[in-house]
Amino acid sequence: MPQIPIIMPQLGESIAEATIVRIAFSAGDAVPADIDILEVETNKAIMGVTAPCAGVIKEITAVIGESYPIGGVLGMLEITEEDALRFGLQETPKPLAEKATAKKVISPKKGDSWKSSVEPTLRGLPVPAHAGGASFLSPRMKARMTELGLHAADLAGVAGSGANGRVTIDDLEQFLEDLERNKITPASSMRVAVADAMRRSWTRPLATVVLPIALDTLLSHRKQQQAKAGPALYALRALAVALGENSAIAGRLIGARIIHPRSIDIGFAVEAADGVLVPVIRNADQFHLSELVERYNRLVELARARRLSATDTGGSIATITNYGVFGLTMATPIPLPEQTLLLGMGVGQTVPSWNPETKTFVPITEAQFTLSFDHRVLDGGAAGRLLLRVKELLNAPEKL
């Protein structure tokens, strides 16, 4: 019978490969069209690889836990002559003699890859006082690091023996050899993606402003609603309204121009296994708070299950993060590389507040709100005014 390859599909605009996490069928199993034969994990979600048509599994060459590039062959499917003609197959492809090559995960000898075999944080490694890190990289050094999948930040604790403390090839090889004496586990694709995003974010001058905001009015309003939004959704909607009034402050600086956003798409951070996902509410300034509750809750569930679609992520102009759920009062979170703003909220605490009318202190529920921003685009004054506008809106929740 004719055979057609089971191909790793294009899973997203910026995704080059995916890791096999589940194989649902075995050789000899009959499958209908469009059923998930395998499940693969990218740095954003878990997705299915479907059968292009009905047929019988001839072989599965993919291996659970290994990564394959987009377009890679994962197995073969026996199909009818009619389907073969429909797909334009002129002849039957030969069965695969051996499995497709997957990404290497071995020790760092020359020519091997460290891309998924280095634990993100290695404890117990002393950092010498004179370690300057890889502040200068020779062409040879850059080539070797590219070969190993390393970045300059990975060598921050290396004491260079070259001129003016520069890290040499010998220093790098010795550093990698020393790492082998430690416990090493592979970093997940999500952990590597988060690390890469934060590394790129940190190339910009980032700053943070802080403002305490009383939550009593918000919490009272929430109790009266049938569909109850969480405090983070209130904050998301308040930020969306504020940015809808002046979108320039969420613009990106590209060269000598500020690129204004086309729409007010706001992301919110959701903790998932070994990382954080940021689903997005599109046009958040155009919907009432009550209209967003169901959409927000659905995206949270999809994010925790790693089932977000490509349209549910990416392209947002700002992010909300509620680090108060971890009991934190204040933090300085980092905006995503493509964003200028990140609004964070701490845990609500009961604090005394002076009432000028009664001339007494009264208890209120208050949380610290932080706004982290790209200092190239905003100054402290503009960031402060935006945060004050968010406070104003949160104290008038009926307008949300």
Per-residue pLDDT of the chain (400 residues; tens, 9 = 90+): 889 999 998 877 667 788 899 999 999 999 998 899 999 988 767 888 998 899 999 999 999 988 888 888 999 999 998 888 887 775 544 554 444 444 433 334 444 444 433 333 333 333 333 344 445 567 777 888 888 778 777 777 777 777 666 788 888 888 888 888 888 888 877 788 888 888 888 888 999 999 999 999 999 999 999 889 999 999 999 999 999 998 888 888 888 888 889 999 999 999 887 778 899 999 999 999 999 999 999 999 999 888 888 889 888 999 999 999 999 999 999 998 889 999 999 999 999 999 998 899 999 999 999 999 999 999 999 999 999 999 999 999 999 9
In 10 A of CB 143, how many CB atoms? 12
Rounded distance between C-alpha atoms, residue 15 and residue 313, angstroms: 13
- Is 306 contained in some domain? yes
- Is 92 contained in some domain? no
Same domain assignment for residues 215 and 326: yes
Same domain assignment for residues 81 and 127: no
Q: Provide the residue range defining the domain that includes 54.
A: 3-86
Same domain assignment for residues 57 and 121: no
The CATH number of residue 318's host domain is: 3.30.559.10
Same domain assignment for residues 306 and 272: yes
The CATH number of residue 30's host domain is: 2.40.50.100
Give residues with Cβ within 8 angstroms of 27, minimum separation 6: 57, 58, 59, 60
- Is 98 contained in some domain? no
DSSP assignment letter at 4? E
Same domain assignment for residues 148 and 8: no
- Is 313 contained in some domain? yes
pTM, to two decimals: 0.66
Rounded distance between C-alpha atoms, residue 43 and residue 39, angstroms: 14
Same domain assignment for residues 181 and 210: no
Domain tally for the chain? 3
- Is 43 contained in some domain? yes
In 10 A of CB 185, how many CB atoms? 9
Q: What is the Cα 93 distance to its own chain's centre?
A: 38
Same domain assignment for residues 214 and 288: yes
* Residue that is last in its domain, among 157, 185, 213: 185
In 3D space, the residue among 286, 285, 306, 232 whose CA is nearest the CA of residue 19 turns out to be: 306
- Is 96 contained in some domain? no
- Is 198 contained in some domain? no
